[in-house]
Amino acid sequence: ILTQSPDTLSLSPGERATLSCRASQSVMTYLAWYQQKPGQAPRLLIYDTSSRATGIPDRFSGSGSGTDFTLTISNLEPEDFAVYYCQQRSNWPPTYSFGQGTKLEIK
Amino acid sequence: QVRLVESGGGVVQPGTSLTLSCVASGRSFSYGMHWVRQAPGKGLEWVAVIWYDGSNTYYGDSVKGRFTISRDNSKNTLYLQMNSLRVDDTAIYFCARDQESNYFDPWGQGTLVTVSS
């Protein structure tokens, strides 16, 4: 089970966003983050805890280990306001779960 | 870059069946594939995965025994056969490519399934 906090984060463009994801048991480093904008499919941002997916700006960074993970977005741009999900895979059998999401909204 | 296009969604009654399709662009379809769904206004829920060759499939608890994931590699197409549909199966269904057996990238645009009497 993945629990994200906060549920909603209100910030202004130019500020730094810190989103948290806590796992009920260790997921090692197999943790990903996705961004979803209204009416669109999710997009992979970060995989293996801290690796940026292709084309993702370097203002997005991921960190953490074990059960506690963080997505940081520095210098927020207007297009960054969206819902963010963390995701992990269980070892065996392979099943996958998402956090409930954090909505990043413009203050 | 792989492009995924889902189809087959619609409005159906509880207890009936529906099959979704997802067509992948590109010459090679030799990778694992997932279905992920999202109920209206809710978060993401993983549904099922199939290995690149169809040799293994795994399901989320809420669909196990009712849904079947399959693929036809000669047609670059992924399927989701959904039986005994329930109102709470109402969602946008996305297909997504498996990455390194851990992640989903890219995703299709989704197809809406509405189960209602």
| Interface contact A53-B106, CB threshold 8 A | no
B87: alpha, beta or left? (left if phi > 0; alpha if psi -120 to 50): alpha
pLDDT for residue A91: 84
| Interface contact A95-B101, CB threshold 8 A | no
**CB contact at 8 A, B14 and B117:** yes
For A18-70, the pLDDT digits (tens) are 999 999 887 777 899 999 999 999 999 999 999 999 999 999 999 999 899 99
What angle (nearest 5°) sits at the alpha carbon of residue A104, between those of residues A101 and A105?
A: 135
Closest in A85, A93, A95 to B43, CB measured: A85
Closest CA to B21 of B33, B5, B37: B5
**CB contact at 8 A, A101 and A85:** yes
Residue A61, phi then psi, degrees to nearest 5: -140, 150
B51 and chain A: CB distance < 8 Å anywhere?
no
B89 vs chain A: nearest CA distance in angstroms?
17
The DSSP-derived string for A49-69 is TTEEPTT--TTEEEEEETTEE
**CB contact at 8 A, A15 and A76:** yes
For residue B113, what is the DSSP state?
A: E
Closest in B46, B58, B108 to A98, CB measured: B46
| Interface contact B94-A41, CB threshold 8 A | yes
B window 13-42, beta carbon within 8 A of A: 34, 36
Separation CA B45–CA B4 (nearest Å)? 19
CA A92 vs. chain centroid, Å, equals 23
CB atoms within 10 A of CB A93: 9
| Interface contact B104-A94, CB threshold 8 A | no
For residue B88, what is the DSSP state?
A: G
Q: pLDDT (tens digit, 0 to 9) for every residue of chain B, 117 residues total?
A: 899 999 999 999 999 999 999 999 987 899 999 999 999 999 999 999 999 999 999 999 999 999 999 999 999 999 999 999 999 999 999 999 998 889 999 999 999 999 999
Question: How confident is the prediction for chain A on average, in pLDDT?
Answer: 95
- Contact residues on chain A for B58, CB-CB shorter than 8 A: 93-95
Closest in B46, B99, B109 to A95, CB measured: B46
3-state class (DSSP) for residue B87: helix
| Interface contact B109-A41, CB threshold 8 A | yes
B46 and chain A: CB distance < 8 Å anywhere?
yes
